[in-house]
Amino acid sequence: MGFFDFFKQSNINQGIEKYKMTAGAVLLDVRTPQEYQEGHIPESKNVPLQQLDNIVSVAKNKDIPLFVYCYSGSRSRQATGMLQRMGYSKVNNIGGIAAYSGKVEK
């Protein structure tokens, strides 16, 4: 990863397409429970960044592909690093729901 890759925003819409094509993948929303209730991407699981140790409730196997998003992409970037340090091998930061153009459910 180069220096400028750090500033490049992930495309959440492309990330969702990749998630849908990945068998057994988990879509992970790391926002607060309140933010999640206000609107989230269908099929996503809410494990707030501050409670990421609870990831085993949705992903026991560390080889499960995880597609992580938050509001802007900042918390999801933190979460992907934390998950990788926990031993998860297939972690994808897909960015922030603020740029998402698909359906949202409450």
Which residues carry out catalysis? 70
Contact 47, 58 (CB under 8 A): yes
- State CA 55 to chain mean position distance: 12
Phi-psi region of 47 (alpha: psi -120 to 50; beta: other; left: phi over 0): beta
